[in-house]
Structure formats: C-alpha cells, structure tokens
C-alpha cells in the first residue's frame, strides 16, 4: 500500500492532530478510517468524504481541520489504533494522498522506547 506510516504518541486527556498527506484543496474528498487493532478487520469510517459519521462512538470529539487533518479531543485509551486518511479525485482514490498513522496512547508520565 502507498503512504508513509507515522507514529504519534499522545497522553490520555490531550488533544491530537493527525495530518493527511498532500491534502487536496477540498476536504469533501477526504475519508478517515480507523482500525482498532493493527491488522484486524474491524474498520470504522470516522469521516466519509468530508462528513462526520454520527454513528461512531467518538464522533463528538472529532473534527476535520481546514487542511483535512483529523482532530481528536480528550484522547482516551480507546482511541489507540491505526488511522488512514484517503482522498478521492472524481471518485477515484488518490493514493499518493494516503496517510497511515499509528496512534499510541500513553498512560503515566514517562515512556522509554528501546531500539
């Protein structure tokens, strides 16, 4: 798949801004998809072609930025997962615009990553 995997680390209770790559001029072409576990099949469409999905349990905390980014307020551990931004041009997916973001929600004050 195209797009670059980004990792975003955020603490519970904070707000996060997930950027969409190469945002097109019109966010009506933008779809944000959420996958609660990396690689599982449970996929939720949070934003479909610029319109917020009111059935999503977190919809009241979501907004679409002017640059088509996804803003999530008051992060909880349930927001952890894989977010994909997709953009469409004339109903065709514009794959160069895909953004793949792993959102990691931190608990506590300090996290050390060994590599």
* Segment 1-16, tens digit of pLDDT: 444 578 999 999 999 9
Q: What is the pLDDT of residue 2?
A: 46
Q: What is the pLDDT of residue 38?
A: 55
CB neighbours of 87 closer than 8 A, spacing ≥ 6? 20, 22, 23, 24, 29, 30, 31, 68, 93, 94, 97, 98
Task: Give this prediction's pTM.
Answer: 0.81
57-115: pLDDT as tens digits: 788 999 999 889 999 999 998 899 999 999 888 778 877 768 899 999 987 655 566 65
Q: What is the pLDDT of residue 1?
A: 42
Residue 22 has pLDDT above 90, yes or no: no
């Amino acid at each position: 798949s195209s797009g670059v995997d980004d990792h975003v680390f955020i603490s519970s209770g904070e707000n996060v801004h997930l950027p969409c790559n190469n945002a097109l001029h019109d966010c009506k072409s933008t779809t944000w998809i959420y996958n609660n576990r990396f690689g599982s099949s449970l996929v939720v469409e949070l934003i479909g072609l610029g319109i917020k999905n009111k059935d999503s349990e977190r919809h009241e905390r979501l907004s679409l930025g002017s640059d088509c980014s996804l803003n999530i307020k008051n992060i909880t551990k349930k927001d952890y997962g894989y977010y994909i931004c997709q953009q469409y041009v004339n109903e065709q997916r514009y794959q160069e615009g895909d953004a793949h973001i792993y959102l990691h929600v931190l608990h506590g004050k300090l996290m050390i990553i060994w590599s």
